[in-house]
Structure 1
Amino acid sequence: MEHLPEWAVLLGNFGFPILIAIYLLTRFEKRIDNLTNAVRDVERLSSRKSEH
């Protein structure tokens, strides 16, 4: 590995974890959006009940 450029070594060391992080973030983004919408729905329902 002595003949590899420095950027290739850095890519080998950090490329895989970065790809995994990007994959997980894009995968969980939809679930986080769904949870956010659910919390907003609960907030709306609780505010309606408190008005009555």
Structure 2
Amino acid sequence: MEEIYTQIANLGFPIVISIYLLVRIEGKLDDLTESINELSKVITSIK
């Protein structure tokens, strides 16, 4: 039983951290994509 707890501790922590970071990065990528699209529209209107 102790081995199971050790495995959960060794695998669970990296999984939780990975999910947390992916969720944070996803929001920033959405903002970046929106900014790039807006910049593209501005550049097109200047031409």
Q: Could you state the TM-score of these two structures normalised by the residue count of structure 2?
A: 0.74
Partners of 2:18 and 2:30 in 1: how far apart?
Answer: 18
Q: Could you state the TM-score of these two structures normalised by the residue count of structure 1?
A: 0.69
Task: Say how many residue pairs are matched.
Answer: 47
| Percent of residue pairs identical | 32
The structure with more helix, counted as a fraction of residues: 2
Give the root-mean-square deviation of aligned CA atoms.
1.7
Aligned position for 1:4: 2
Unmatched tracts of structure 2, length 5 or more: none
Unmatched tracts of structure 1, length 5 or more: none
